[in-house]
Chain A
């Protein structure tokens, strides 16, 4: 019988979500680079220009989705890479929850920043 050799669990959804987010990210990451380095140039960035884009609902929602998918894809990739090094047991659990907390912090901070440009005040 052949060995099962994967960092993904059988029947798990993380494998599928890693691919779904990848398909989204290849398009949006290319768009992000093109817009902010070729259409607009990095040294011309101002708060007002960033705010102007983020005040548009379609751009704001695309960037929030970009943040969510990039965080999942990146952090899940890091977790898989660490599992491939043979991480198991309590170490694996500790790494998993550290990455979950780091992801939540990143997403909250990213959305707070987007809200600052969009003029959205939650408190």
Chain B
């Protein structure tokens, strides 16, 4: 017979001290998901300047990419996207029942790999911008 558990409110972040690796993976996946969906709407809004003609679009992108703060935010976006992708692969494996007993290790691997990819990408993302 299966047991019944009282897990409390799902979104009770006040219990963060009790969180295990899997719970942190869930929190990070949720946070990065909110950022990515927010960015999706912003991204389409910025790209929509193409509807006003070539000059408006090229000018808007060039102006934005000339700002250091935008480049730094893009590095942040890369970090968020890479973690969401890697942890998403981990979740797909978990859903298929693959490597369930090592899901905490794959979460740590996702974090380390995200950090490595982001650090290695910083020169590319900041190339050509001045302070």
Contacts and interface: CB of A to CB of B under 8 A. Distances in A.
Contacts of B11: 81, 84-85
SS class, residues of chain B in contact with chain A? helix
B5 A3 contact: yes
Given A41-B127, A41-B128, A113-B47, A74 B9 contact: no
In the complex, which range does the number of interface residues on chain B fall in?
Answer: 35 or more
B57 interface: yes
Interface in A91-121: 102, 106, 109-110, 112-113, 116-117
B35 to A, nearest CB: 10
A46 interface: yes
B20 interface: no
Contact of A2 (B3, B58, B88, B127): B3
Given A3-B4, A19-B95, A75 B37 contact: yes
Contact of A45 (B30, B51, B65, B78): B65
Given A45-B61, A116-B50, A1 B4 contact: yes
B54 A48 contact: yes
B92 A19 contact: yes
A22 B36 CA distance: 13
A26 B29 CA distance: 13
Nearest to B65: A43
Given A1-B2, A78-B34, A113-B50, A26 B127 contact: no
A40 to B, nearest CB: 11
B131 interface: no
Contacts of A47: 50, 53-55, 57-58
Nearest to A3: B4
B81 A29 contact: yes
Interface of B: 2-5, 7, 9-11, 30, 33-34, 36-37, 40-41, 44-45, 47-48, 50-51, 53-55, 57-58, 61-62, 65-66, 74, 78, 81, 85, 88-89, 91-92, 95, 121, 124-125, 127-129
The 7 A-B pairs at the shortest CB distance, nearest first, are namely A74-B37, A47-B54, A43-B65, A2-B2, A45-B61, A84-B10, A47-B57
10 contacts: A19-B92, A23-B92, A29-B85, A30-B85, A33-B78, A38-B124, A45-B61, A47-B54, A74-B37, A112-B48
